[in-house]
Amino acid sequence: MSESTIVPSSSSNEGSSNGSNSILEERLAAMAKRVEDVQKQNPDGDLKVETQWWVPSVTLGVDLQEGLDKETNNKWKACGRKAMERKFTPDAMAEARSEVKTILAGHPDILERVETLIFKNEEVWASMNKYAESEAAEGRDVFGSCAAVPK
């Protein structure tokens, strides 16, 4: 698949400026290339490249970065850091979900996508928590590389 075939859905990018559109197009192209490279490195696997499964997440990331004011974006990031620091425990995720509803109350379209893409799949967070806890039991900080994000 060539990078030129990547087309974000218009509903997930309504109201974005031309600058945001070019950022989105760049990020989608970069992600498509990464997924294609991983697929080439793992020919026996099927990453379902043709489905472009990453588009909603990349679009949400750009909308969060470009569509929120600095204060709201900082609150959003801090909320995610807290959940990560608590190893995505069920309580941490419930608190994050509640906090995000307050943080993004003025952005219902983004909030709806955050709810769908991030909070709906509780099995993913349970797996992340299990992995983080097992790594911690071995003395490893699985999220240590994320500590570089400014607080």
Q: In terms of pTM, does the model score above 0.75?
A: no
Q: Are 100 and 56 in contact (CB under 8 A)?
A: no
Q: Are 135 and 75 in contact (CB under 8 A)?
A: no
Domain spans of the chain, in order of start: 17-59, 68-151
Give the per-residue pLDDT at 144.
Answer: 66
Based on C-alpha coordinates, what's the Rg of the chain? 17
pLDDT digits (tens, 9 = 90+) for 84-141: 999 999 999 999 999 999 999 999 999 999 999 999 988 999 999 999 999 989 998 8
pLDDT digits (tens, 9 = 90+) for 30-79: 988 888 888 899 888 888 878 778 888 898 999 898 899 999 999 999 99
Q: Are 109 and 14 in contact (CB under 8 A)?
A: yes
